[in-house]
A and B are shown apart, each in its own frame.
Chain A
Amino acid sequence: DGGITQSPKYLFRKEGQNVTLSCEQNLNHDAMYWYRQDPGQGLRLIYYSQIVNDFQKGDIAEGYSVSREKKESFPLTVTSAQKNPTAFYLCASRDLDRGLYGYTFGSGTRLTVV
């Protein structure tokens, strides 16, 4: 079955370290997205990519970086410059040929800085 896989489900990081969250999809979707979820804040867009080797900043890109070397993969790196990285991170993908819908979400990664 097609879908989006985020790994790991739980991740612990020491302060000052970079960490990379994985997001892989086998849906052949063109666009991929990273959102951050905090209690009471809803979901905020970090980065998105509509084609390979191209990506755009979302509303809260500072302290994060991404790459899109393959259509299936859109890893997110949380750098030491991100001041408050503890959050729930959700990856999503979308088939642009389906118009304004067709989003699929992964099950998320909970990152905790210790």
Chain B
Amino acid sequence: GNSVTQMEGPVTLSEEAFLTINCTYTATGYPSLFWYVQYPGEGLQLLLKATKADDKGSNKGFEATYRKETTSFHLEKGSVQVSDSAVYFCALISNQAGTALIFGKGTTLSVSS
């Protein structure tokens, strides 16, 4: 079946450090891939997405490239801020009808000043 594996946290960084959160997936067909962010006590917000191989999703300085050859969608940011502290979820949805978003377990990012 379809699944998402992301690196376990927590990830602790200083402000302005470089961020990478690894995400790999297993899926039949050609899924769309997403990163969602969850701030404390809130629901999920879509951070970025990519719908086909080699697409790069980007938003708020975050980027992720859909790599079909390595089945990966790693999240990167060149310089993190304290306000980026949150839980980040990698997710996929299959192009098969009737399917729902499948999430990884989430990675907690903590950025200190």
Contact = CB atoms under 8 A, between A and B. Distances in A.
Given A42-B104, A42-B105, A101-B51, A56 B43 contact: no
B51 A100 contact: yes
B20 to A, nearest CB: 19
B86 to A, nearest CB: 14
A98 B21 CA distance: 28
Interface residues of A, number: 23
A105 B43 contact: yes
A103 B101 contact: yes
Interface stretch (A12-20, A43-51, A64-72): A43-51
Contacts of A40: 105-106
Interface residues of B, number: 22
Interface stretch (B11-19, B61-69, B73-81, B92-100): B92-100
Interface string A35-63: 10000111111001010000010100000
Contacts of A44: 103
A42 B106 contact: yes
B46 interface: yes
Given A40-B105, A100-B32, A100-B51, A108 B43 contact: yes
Interface string B28-42: 000110101000001
Contacts of A90: 43-44
A40 to B, nearest CB: 6
Nearest to B34: A101
Contact of A41 (B31, B34, B105): B105
Given A42-B105, A100-B31, 13 more contacts: A33-B100, A40-B106, A42-B89, A42-B104, A43-B89, A43-B101, A45-B102, A48-B100, A50-B98, A92-B101, A101-B51, A107-B43, A108-B43
Interface of A: 6, 33, 35, 40-45, 48, 50, 56, 58, 90, 92, 99-101, 103, 105-108
**Top-4 shortest CB links A-B:** A42-B105, A100-B32, A105-B43, A43-B103
